[in-house]
């Protein structure tokens, strides 16, 4: 079903985004990568995906915090690949600090990347999806879209917003052949989380190992991180025929974190 579909995945030069892009490529999708990185490393990723799965893969370095660049990225994907059938809004940044000392510029940048970019991406792909009568929108939210943690005010606010936006888009597109769902991972050992460990240790006066054991894995009853490959498999499922009546949903993959 996904063979020759076109997937645009933001923040896909590493971590969760790259795993989702690879899973979709394996399922037969042509891929537009997005994200920052050393040009030679990004080119190696692009060539590797294309060679392994026999699909077309391009990269757009758009800064998704800028609405105009999101629009440009979607237009580029349409020009190079023929339209965006699948949009995965994955790009995200983080900063950890108490509310009273949370830098205003960090708040603005996190809201721009983690929430506003999701809106701009959806707004730009919907006309094409509606014209084709088929589309899949997947927003990578977080368990912090459902529950809060100290010192993450901007991130928690943005991810709650992503879930609300997901539900609204699902209702607006319910009869259009388009689905819109959110995936909410628990802790996944990605570069973003690795950086967060050091920041959280500083904010809470703990060692990094204590953060790992007590703050991160201590909150997940399974005692293990969610694997990026599992998130990729979930994304493929949400794009497939078996999930055509799943829309507006929040797919939690958190090792039991939010069951407590």
- For the CA atoms of 209, 210, 216, 218, the dihedral, rounded to the nearest 10 degrees, stands at 120
Q: Is 194 left (phi over 0), alpha (psi -120 to 50) or beta?
A: alpha
Is 151 annotated in the active site?
no
Q: How far, in Å, CA of 140 to CA of 117, rounded?
A: 12
- Contact criterion met (CB below 8 Å) for 72 and 10: no
Give CA separation, 97 vs 4, 34, 67, 93, in Å. 44, 28, 27, 14
3-state secondary structure of 134: coil
d(CA 151, CA 115): 18
Catalytic residue among 53, 151, 155, 187: 155
| Rounded CA separation 49/58 (Å) | 10
Q: How far apart are CA 166 and CA 245, in angstroms?
A: 15
**Residues with catalytic roles:** 155
């Amino acid at each position: 079903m996904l063979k020759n579909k076109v997937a645009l995945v933001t923040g896909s030069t590493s971590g969760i985004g790259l795993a989702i892009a690879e899973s979709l490529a394996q399922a037969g999708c042509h891929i537009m990568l997005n994200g920052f990185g050393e040009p030679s490393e990004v080119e190696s990723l692009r060539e590797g995906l294309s060679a392994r799965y026999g699909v077309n893969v391009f990269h757009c370095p758009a800064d998704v915090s800028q609405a105009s660049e999101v629009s440009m990225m979607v237009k580029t994907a349409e020009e190079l690949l023929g339209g965006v059938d699948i949009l995965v809004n994955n790009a995200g940044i983080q900063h950890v600090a108490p509310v009273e000392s949370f830098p205003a510029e960090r708040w603005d940048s996190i809201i721009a990347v983690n929430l506003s970019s999701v809106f701009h991406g959806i707004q730009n792909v919907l006309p094409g999806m509606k014209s084709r009568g088929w589309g899949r929108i997947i927003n990578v939210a977080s368990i912090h879209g459902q529950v809060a943690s100290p010192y993450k005010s901007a991130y928690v606010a943005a991810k709650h917003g992503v879930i609300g936006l997901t539900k609204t888009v699902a209702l607006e597109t319910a009869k259009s052949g388009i689905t819109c769902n959110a995936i909410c991972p628990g802790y996944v050992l990605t570069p973003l989380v690795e950086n967060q460990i050091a920041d959280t240790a500083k904010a809470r006066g703990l060692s990094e190992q204590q953060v790992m054991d007590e703050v991160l894995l201590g909150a997940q009853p399974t005692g293990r991180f969610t694997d990026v490959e599992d998130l990729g498999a979930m994304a493929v499922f949400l794009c497939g025929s078996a999930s055509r009546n799943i829309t507006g949903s929040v797919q939690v993959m958190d090792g039991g974190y939010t069951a407590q």
